Structure 1
Amino acid sequence: MAPMLIDDGGQVMKMLAMLLSLSGLFLFPADLAAKVKIVSTIPDFAAIAREIGGDRVDVVAMVRPTQDPHFLDAKPAFVVALNRADLLLLVGMELEGGWLPPLLVGARNADIQKGEDGYLDCSTLIPPMGIQSPDRSKGDIHPGGNPHYWTDPRNGIRIARGIAKRLAAIDPDHAEDYQRGCDAFVERLQARIVDWTKRLEPVKGTRVVVYHKSWIYFLDFAGLVEAGALEPKPGIPPSPSHVAGLLKVVQDSGVKFVLQESFYPTELSRQFADKSGARLLVLPTMVGASGMNSYIDMVDFIVNHIATDSEN
C-alpha cells in the first residue's frame, strides 16, 4: 500500500488542508454552504445519494469507477473534502480499512467519525454474506462478510432507505424532500428488479467461475452458482495446480462464464477462458464505468450482458 501523507500527530495533513483552504482548492465549491456535503468512498453510493438528495446535496466519490476500492492512494484533496463533509458513506466490512482511517484522522472532522450521524457504514444496512473467521494467511479476508454487496439491487433499496434516514437526521428541515427522493428511486428500482428477474430466469442455475470473490451478492440475486474462483484466496494469484484443478471443474460441470470486474488485469482470465471454452465477461461493478451514470444503469448493464451472452 502506498504511504499515507500523515504523521503520528496528523500535522502534515492538517497543514496541507490549511494550505488548500487558503488557495481555494476544495472539492466542494464555496457557494454550496447551504447544501449537505456528502463524501462517498465509492461512486455507487454517491449516485444513490444524488438520487435521494437532488439539489439539496453535493456529493463526491473518492474511488474512481476504474479503481480497485480495496486500495487508494491518499491525496490532500480527500482530506479537505472529508474536513468539510456533513456525511460520510462507506462500504465497511474492512474494504476501506487500508486507507480510510488515516484520512479520517487527518480530516479533523468530529461530525463524520464512527458513532456520529455523519458516519454511515452502509454494510450495517444489509444482510451480510460470506462471513469468515479472521485469518490473513487466507488472503484479503473480510471477517465481517463479503463487502461487495452493492451489486445486488435488493441491497440498493436498503442502502437508499438508510441514506435517506441519515440525511433526515442531519438536515431535518428537509426530511420530507429526502423521503420523496428515496421513494421515487426505490419505486424505479423495484420495477427494474422485476424486469431483471424475468430477464435472468433462463440463466438460473448456470455455473460460473469468478476472478475475485466479489460476485457473491449478484450471483445470489441472479440465481447463478459459483463453481470456483481464479484467485484461490482473495488477493493471491493462482498457482498452475489451482488453474489445472479449476479447468477440470469447468469441464466436469459445464461452466459457461468467467466473470471479472473491469479494474482487474485480464490476461490470466483470457487464457483460462480460452483453455476452458468458457466465455469471459469483463463487467464494471461501479457507477461511472462504461458510460453508466446511475446505479440502475450499472445493474442493467451487468444483467443485459449476462442474459445476452447466455443466449449466444
Structure 2
Amino acid sequence: MDDFAKPKRSRPGRPPGLPSAIDHEFPSHSINSCIMKPNQTHRRRLLQILALTCALSVSHTVTAAEPLRVCASTTDLDSLARLIGGARVQTFCFSKGSEDPHEIELKPSFAKELNRADLYLQVGQGIENAWLEKLMRTVNNDAVRPGKKGNLNLGRAVRPLEGEAANNAPGSFHEDGNPHYFLDPLEGLRAAREIRDKLTELRPEWKAEFAANHDKFRQRLAVALVGEECAKQDDVEKLAVEFEKLKDAAAVKEFLTHHKVGGWLGAFAAYRGQFIVGDHDLWYFFARRFGLEVLGYLEPSPGVPPTTKHVKELVGKMKAKQVRVILSAPYFERRFVDFAAKQSGARPLPMAHQTAARAGTDDYFTMLKHNADQLLAGLKAK
C-alpha cells in the first residue's frame, strides 16, 4: 500500500486529538508539505522524462514520415513521380514543359536539390548528355549518381525502335537513341511500374499506397488507350503491341473482330498507315503506337536547324504523299513550320512534346490526351 494512503497514527504519550506543543510550532499541514515535497519533485521529474520521451518519439515518427525527395530531368518523369508517389513524394524538376529537354540551363538549385534527394529520375537515351556530367561534378550525394540505388534511368528498358526510325545520326542529339519514348502511352505504363517499384524499394512501409496509386493511374490510361471493355478483359500492353505489328488493313479488320478495341487505338485504326511530318525528331514512338508513318522532319538531323533545300525537298514529298498534318513542338521556330505548311497545304498542329508543354497538359495523362485529340482532329479535317 502507498505510504500516503495509510491512516494517520496518534503520537504516543498523548490522547488522540489533543494538540501538543509541536503542533502549535509546526502545524500538521507544514509537516505534511515537508514530507511530500521530495516525492512530488520525484513525480514531476518522472512526468518531465515521460513528456520528453513522447516528444522524441513523435519527432522520430515525423522524421521517418517525411516524403521522399525526388528530382526529375523532365516534366514527364516529374508528373509520373507525383502520380505514383502521391503525398509521399516531394518533387523537383530540372526543366519546364515548354523547353527543349536536350538543352537545359543549369542552376545552383539543381545541385542543392540533388544533394538532399532520395531519388533522381533520368530519361536516359542521351537526353541529358549535354548537361548531366557537368551537373554531377557539383553534387556530393553519391546515392543519386548513375548506377546507384537512388538513381533510376527509365531509358534502359525502352523497347527500341526498328527500321529507319532506329537510325541515330552520329553527332546529333539522338546519337544514343531516341529519348522521346514517353509520347508512347505504353512506355508511360512501363515507366510508372518501374517508378512504383523503386519508391517501394526506398520506402517499403508505403508499398500499399504506391501500389494503389499505380493501379489507379494504370487503369485510367489503359481505358483511354484501348477502351473500357478491352482494359477489363485483355492484357493491355500485350494487345497494343500485337495491334502495332499488324501489316495491312485486312489484318487490322480481322483483329478487331476478336478484340473490341476502343479508346485511342480504336479511333486511330481508321488512319492506319497515313503519313505525318514533324519539326524535330520527336514522333517515332508516338507514330509507332498509333499505326502512323513518319515521312520526315523539318530538321535534316536531330538538333540541326532546317535548311531551305531540305525543307523544299520535304515539301515535295509531302505533296506526293498527301500529308495532312505537321506536328509542332512549342520550342521549335514557328517560321519553318509555317513555311512548310503554306507550301504543302498541311495543317500545323500544336502538339505537346512533354508534360506541361501546352495549356491543359499539366500531367502526363492530359499530355497524352491532348496529343491524341489534336492529331485525330487534324486527320479528320478536310
**Short-chain TM bin:** 0.7 to 0.9
C-alpha contact 1:32 1:58 (8 A) present in aligned 2: no
1:82 pairs with 2:114: yes
The equivalent of 2:72 in structure 1 is: 40
**Structure 2 CA distance for partners of 1:280 and 1:134, relative to 1, 3 Å:** closer
In structure 2, the CA distance between the partners of 1:201 and 1:32, relative to structure 1 (3 Å rule), is farther
In the TM superposition, what are the counterparts of 1:180-259 in structure 2 within 5 Å? 180-194=212-226, 195-259=263-327
Following superposition, the deviation at residue 199 of structure 1 comes to: 2.2
**What is residue 16 of structure 2 aligned with on the other side?**
none
Q: Is there any run of 5+ residues in structure 2 with no aligned partner, and where?
A: 1-62, 227-262
Match 2:359 to one of 282, 290, 298: 290
Q: Tell me what 1:142 maps to.
A: 175
Distance 1:201 1:132 in 2: 27
CA offsets per residue over residues 53-83 of structure 1, 9 Å max, x none?
1111111211100110000111001111111
Structure 1 residues 134 and 207, CA gap change in structure 2 (3 angstroms):
closer
The amino acid that maps onto 1:135 is: P
The code of the aligned residue for 1:112 comes to: V
| Within-5 A mapping of 1:49-88 | 49-88=81-120
1:263 and 1:115 map into 2 onto residues whose CA distance is 31
Identity in percent: 29
CA 1:49/1:210 → structure 2, altered by over 3 Å: closer, same or farther?
Answer: same
Structure 1 letter corresponding to 2:173: D
Instruction: Give the total of aligned pairs.
Output: 280
User: For structure 1, which segment, 156-165 or 200-209, has the greater mean C-alpha deviation from structure 2 after superposition?
Assistant: 200-209
Following superposition, the deviation at residue 265 of structure 1 comes to 1.2
Quick check: which has more Rg, 1 or 2?
A: 2
| 2: CA distance, partners of 1:249 / 1:63 | 35
1:309 aligns with 378
Distance of aligned partners of 1:246 and 1:133 in 2 relative to their CA distance in 1, 3 Å threshold: closer
- Runs of 4+ in structure 1 off by over 6 angstroms are none
Structure 2 Cα separation of the partners of residues 32 and 234 of structure 1: 45
Residue of structure 2 equivalent to 1:91? 123
| Higher RCO (CA < 8 A, seq sep 6+) | 1
Taking only aligned residues, the RMSD between alpha carbons, in angstroms, comes to: 1.8
TM-superposed CA distance for 1:132, in Å, is: 4.0
Instruction: Point out the more displaced range, 65-74 or 175-184.
Output: 175-184
TM-score, scaled to structure 2: 0.70
TM score, norm. by length of structure 1: 0.85
- For residues 106-185 of structure 1, the aligned pairs below 5 Å read 106-129=138-161, 130-132=165-167, 135-136=170-171, 139-143=172-176, 145-185=177-217
- Equivalent pair of 1:131/1:142 in contact (CA under 8 Å): no
